[in-house]
Amino acid sequence: MAVNILMPALSPTMEKGNLAKWLKKEGDTVKSGDVLAEIETDKATMEVEAVDEGILAKIIVPAGTNDVMVNEVIAIIAAEGENVSAPAAATKAPAAPAATPAVTPAASAAAPVPVTAAVPASAPRNDARVFASPLAKRLAKEAGLDLSGLTGSGPHGRVVERDVRQAIAGGVAPKASASSSSAPQTAAVSQATAMATGPSDAATKAMFAAGSYDEIPHDGMRKTIARRLTEARQTIPQFYLTVDCEIDALLKLREQVNAASPKDKEGKPLWKVSVNDMVIKALACALMRVPDANVTWTEGAMLKHHHADVGVAVALPGNGLITPILRKAETMPLSAIALGMKDFAARAKSRKLKPEEYQGGTTAVSNLGMFGIKDFTAVINPPHATILAVGGGEQRPVVKNGALAIATVMSITLSCDHRAVDGALGAQLISEIKTIIEHPMSMLV
């Protein structure tokens, strides 16, 4: 019996992906566990395994196809000799508009492929009902837009937030009002929404002379970064706390720790601890000392975590960033943190991080000190309640025992989600971070 292979959901938020390439061709024998194809999402490239045996009878979606919706039939596995001309008991999703291929980090983790019949990509709609997400409905209501006139780009033709925002930016006419007296109010709401989303692409391009710029399409990662951080700014009430830390003792301890590193056959140290590694450890230890700040906000409850899972922002070649997570960082020795970050950085840049290695976490560190940045504020990345921005260490004049002296000072800024971490609690947390950084031997005990 023929079995449909569907476009898998490789993460909870995935709606569509790019079918990068097929690793099997039509007519090939397929065994359970064989890798069939590579799927690109906004964050990773994943290998898709077969969970059934037979012949790859038909490839529905060719390699290089972009924006393939989740649950769309991409291929059919059948018994040898079985005649297959169409997906079994499934309706193929309508083709999505072409998009520029995403430049994303990859992961080699295999994801199970559902083998049940695909859900029809579009269902007959009742004229009185529009299939749309709650956020899309709210935005449309505020802007006075008629959702029935929009074409959805979400799963199974569902209207999602981006469809509404594109309609607003493109100047789609609002729905007719039942009362002419409400027209000015509707226009005001629409104008306010348009201001919140910014001018349309056409209006922005009109501000610049033709030929004075190059147009570089956004890749999947850049779109995701823009969407998530815009949502973070709009939905998270953030406040910021900055302190200066004297790091001479930390630098001295780092030197001693690195001198104790075992050597390989060529005499090179097996690990080298960085200042950032020690900041990660300090943040993790501080969260254990201030457990009320080691939390995640949800509408129904506060999630108080047992361990400090610290994400660390890693810049990717060309464009974008990713935040791999050191799980239970408070339990890791400095050498393990150094080795873990070295591994994460290498695999992130070679596109081999797994989704579980960069999703979740309780807090994060963003360090721009190596670029000569003195201090800055970082945007919280949900579901985190905090993020620590780290500047570069530099020699500054300080007062010690009433006398002027020189010390190596590093500025750190803690961004806090005020829903989960109040001002006093945030101040307590950053004070603990400062104490640990300035008395770094506590990281070793």
252 and 103 fall within a common domain: no
The answer to whether 387 touches 415, Cβ cutoff 8 Å, is yes
Beta strands in 29-82 (DSSP E): 29-30, 35-40, 45-49, 54-59, 65-69, 73-78
- 334 found inside a domain: yes
Say if residue 268 is in the same domain as residue 211: no
List, for residues 4-50, the tens digit of each pLDDT value. Answer: 888 888 776 678 888 888 999 888 998 888 888 988 876 677 788 88
At 386, the pLDDT band (50, 70, 90 cuts) reads very high
Choice between 150 and 401, residue whose per-residue pLDDT is larger: 401
How far is residue 89's CA from residue 131's CA, in Å, rounded to a whole number?
23
Assess whether 280 and 210 both reside in one domain. no
Burial class (CB in 10 A: 0-12, 13-18, 19+), 359: middle
3-state secondary structure (DSSP) of residue 122? coil
* CATH label of the domain that carries residue 290: 3.30.559.10
To the query of whether residue 307 is one of the catalytic residues in this protein, the response is: no
Label residue 225 exposed, middle or buried (CB < 10 Å: 0-12, 13-18, 19+). buried
Q: What is the pTM of this model?
A: 0.63
Q: Same structural domain for residues 103 and 245?
A: no
pLDDT at 194 over 60: no
Does the pLDDT of residue 426 top 50, yes or no? yes
117 Cβ neighbours under 8 A, 6+ residues apart: 4, 88, 89, 90
Which pLDDT band holds residue 200 (cuts at 50, 70, 90)? Answer: confident
Q: Which of 50, 76, 111 is the last residue of a domain?
A: 111
Asked if 286 and 410 count as a contact pair (C-beta separation under 8 A), the reply is no
Same domain for 274 and 213: no
Decide if 402 contacts 416 (C-beta within 8 A).
Answer: no
The token pair that represents 414 in the structure block: 């803690």
How many domains does the chain fold into? Answer: 3
Write down the pLDDT at residue 388.
Answer: 98
Whether residue 374 lies inside any domain: the answer is yes
**Whether residue 102 sits in one domain with residue 30:** yes
Do 273 and 339 fall within a single domain? yes
Model pLDDT, residue 218: 83
Structural domain contains residue 278:
yes
Give tens-digit pLDDT for 241-265.
999 999 999 999 999 999 999 999 9
User: pLDDT band at residue 108, thresholds of 50, 70 and 90?
Assistant: very low
Which residues are CB-contacts of 138 (< 8 A; sequence separation ≥ 6)? none
Q: What is the pLDDT of residues 59-95, one digit of tens each?
A: 999 998 888 888 889 998 888 777 776 565 543 433 3
Q: Which residue has the higher pLDDT, 235 or 157?
A: 235
The domain in which residue 202 lies consists of 134-223
What average pLDDT score do residues 408-430 get? 97
Mean pLDDT of the chain: 82
State the average pLDDT over residues 109-121.
38
- Among residues 218, 305, 307, 418, which one is catalytic? 418
216 and 364 in a single domain? The answer is no
